[in-house]
Amino acid sequence: MIMYKKKFISGIVLFVVSLSLFADEGMWMLHLLKQQKYPEMKALGLKLQDYDIYNPNGSSLKDAVVQFGNGCTGEVVSSQGLVLTNHHCGYGSIQNHSTLEHNYLEDGFWALTPAQELPNPGLTVTFIDKIDDVTDYVKSCLKRDAAKDSLGVFYLSPSYLNAIAREKAGEAFLKENYGTVVEIKPFYDGNQYFMFTKKVYADVRLVGAPPSSIGKFGADTDNWMWPRHTGDFSVFRIYADKNGNPAPYSPENIPLKPKRWLSISTKGVQQNDFAMIMGFPGTTNQYFTSWEVLEKRNIDNDVRIHMREIRQKVMLEEMLKDPAVKIQYSAKYAGSTNSYKSAIGANWAIDKRDFALTKQQQQDRLLAWAKKNGTKEYAQALNDIEMIVEQRSDLRFRDRMLYEGISRGVEFASIPTRNADLLASALQKNDQQEFEKLSTELLNDFYRFANKDYNPMVDKKVSSALISEYMRLIPREKQPEAFDEIYTRFDGDAARYVDYLFETSIFGSGQNMKKFLEGNRIPEAILNDPMIRFAESVKAEAASLKQQLAVFDRPFDKARQKYVQGILAMDGALAHFPDANLTLRLTYGKVKGYRPRDAVNYDPQTTVDGIMEKEDSTNWEFVVPEKLKELYRKKDFGRYAMPDGRMPVAFTATTHTTGGNSGSPVMNAKGELIGINFDRNWEGVGGDIQYLPDYQRSIIVDIRYVLFVIDKFAGAKNLIREMELR
């Protein structure tokens, strides 16, 4: 699978490229801005002092930025704990509150009084109180605990690092400060460590969301694309106890009075205006080697693209046939297509700018520097990485195929089987009391699996298609054991096999489950249940592949740590930003369009004119609400229109973002909110590996459109009055 190999030969002159960063490149640590990027930001137009952005001893902009849930960002925009984030970040909460009678996905939702705001169990927002460099502390702990670290993995272990974080903070401190969490994370692949002191609020209520015809306008067709006309926002509120501290949901809780909230600019943006984003980017791979770039393209991305395309085609067909299925599968479909398009864009960028060559040049530069300085360890690290990537290629392909094609794509592959196994054991022992207890648990397992968002007909059709393709691409001897039955009993016909599973398995339907629990309850009914056997076989194969791949993890991580150590030693510790890892970062740049290909130029601003141009009442992705059309006809845009009278919708900036930056505040040179980040352009997705200055663009919903929808479209003037508009 690995199609590129470079041999390092001493004595030849290596081609050297500069690794100086583009001004707009990077996801920078806030507490290091003054030493790293603040002068450049000032030169680009920033009007703030560094301590206005991050101040460990007082209020600053970072105190208005929250991690929303576990994978998005939000911003506080009022003195009453009002939070803006993306519609797609709040989508799960909106969906959970939606029914056919009250379809908030289709119709939108607006709480005009606090009593109408809806709680969301499990949803949290997290503030970062402070960031501390604890590199020396971690190294001393690693040295102290070396005898316990027989595998040599503590330096990257979240459980170990968080344990010593609690040790450093003190259990008494954490006990006295409910909702406070401390976390140590490794940076630069374990060459540096920072500790984050966080405050987590668990009472977060839905306040407002536009209908999906605004919040998801363009849906999958426009996802990752520019020009964009999506009002991708939703509104939540943080609640706390009477003292302003985190507390579980209670009707007695009150809106949080935050330390800081963002003021909002209604003046709009112009080409080349300064823009900066703060948020929690998830994962980047800036320190990939050339071999990893090709592994990503040829295995990870290619498999994801191919298998998700099959799944999505079937899902969409069923969603368009039935509105109920559309509600059930809208979030699943959106989640699938999001990463699918991202993989396509990443592969385009890898080829367009030859990332493998770019990374090879970086490797060669390090080797030349190391040779000049008499250091051999970095060459060995690169040799180890090359060898490991090649050795694990077949296992990695099988693992990706199993995950994308079966574990993730086949819903019944994830049925819970533990209680079923225990129940079979109780039957074998004739333990009636245990059987009755486990029967209840088994029934609960079934309804947790076959919940309101599950449709067996859709699962059948998707599974038949995915299993067939998996069987075509993976040799029979390397497939899960349960697949033998498809060949021996069904002549390799996956569709017939899937029908058989649903007809005979106790998990195939509620009727089957009821028949088993009320009928002839023999252990063989579970032990030989074909769907249970399938699920357990898939899980066993996934575990086996994980175990085989894990053999490579420790030597790979050590080699990567050494390689990155070499880059930092060569260029200086402050020259590079660490890969994203869901920690608070800042990126900055300019409002700017781009030219994706010859003779095509994209402006940085879109307007409601474009919504009307895209309108298609026969296509669910481009339906325009009548109220929005009425406001457009009357040009009733209020104070939110542009100077030329048009209504803005979205804009682009050269800021360096990735997944996790969804919902991030976009601020102007004064630190005022001008937009909410919600996507990247398709051509810039490869920026996770290497920044693309000519193509890299963050896609941002203009705050004026957000305010217009809240005010004029929804009539939620109570929310407008709550915000600080300038």
Q: How far apart are CA 299 and CA 321, in angstroms?
A: 34
Q: Is 662 a catalytic residue?
A: yes
Best CA proximity match to 695, nearest among 345, 436, 441, 460: 345
Contacts of 319-328 with CB under 8 Å at 24 or more apart are 320/620, 323/100, 324/100, 325/455, 325/458, 326/620, 327/95, 327/98, 327/100, 327/103, 327/105, 328/452, 328/453, 328/454, 328/455, 328/458
Q: How far apart are CA 130 and CA 599, in angstroms?
A: 48
Q: How far apart are CA 361 and CA 363, in angstroms?
A: 5
Q: Which of 88, 229, 576, 656 is catalytic?
A: 88
Q: Which of 330, 662, 664, 698 is catalytic?
A: 662
Task: Name the phi and psi angles at 587, rounded to 5.
Answer: -130, 150
DSSP 308-330: HHHHHHHHHHHHHH-HHHHHHHH
Best CA proximity match to 696, nearest among 594, 584, 604, 602: 594
Please state, in angstroms and as integers, the Cα–Cα distance from residue 209 to each residue in 62, 508, 724, following that order.
Answer: 25, 36, 20
What lies within 8 Å, CB to CB, of 23 at 6+ separation is 40, 44, 589
Beta strands in 424-526 (DSSP E): none
Helices 530-571 & 393-402, crossing angle to 10 degrees? 130
Q: Is 656 a catalytic residue?
A: no
Exposure letters 251-281 (e unless 16+ CB within 10 A, then b): eebbbbebbbbbebbbebbeeebbbbbbbbb
Query: Coil, strand, or helix at residue 653?
Result: strand
Q: How far apart are CA 475 and CA 465, in angstroms?
A: 17
Q: Is 232 a catalytic residue?
A: yes
Q: How far apart are CA 164 and CA 167, in angstroms?
A: 5
Task: Considering only the C-alpha atoms of the chain, give the largest distance between any 2 of them, rounded to a whole number of Å.
Answer: 81
Q: Which of 50, 189, 222, 232 is catalytic?
A: 232
Please state, in angstroms and as integers, the Cα–Cα distance from residue 630 to each residue in 46, 214, 643, following that order.
Answer: 39, 14, 21
Pure H helices in 572-669: 608-614, 626-634
Whether the CB-CB separation of 382 and 390 falls below 8 Å is answered with no
**Omega within 30 of 0 (cis) for the link into 227:** yes
Q: How far apart are CA 709 and CA 649, in angstroms?
A: 10
Polymer length in residues for the chain: 726
DSSP 198-224: EEEE-EEEEEEE--HHHHTTTHHHHTT
Best CA proximity match to 226, nearest among 582, 684, 724: 684
Best CA proximity match to 30, nearest among 355, 281, 244: 281
Q: How far apart are CA 571 and CA 573, in angstroms?
A: 7
Write out the H or E segment, with its range, that includes residue 652.
strand 648-653
As annotated, the active-site residues are 88, 232, 662
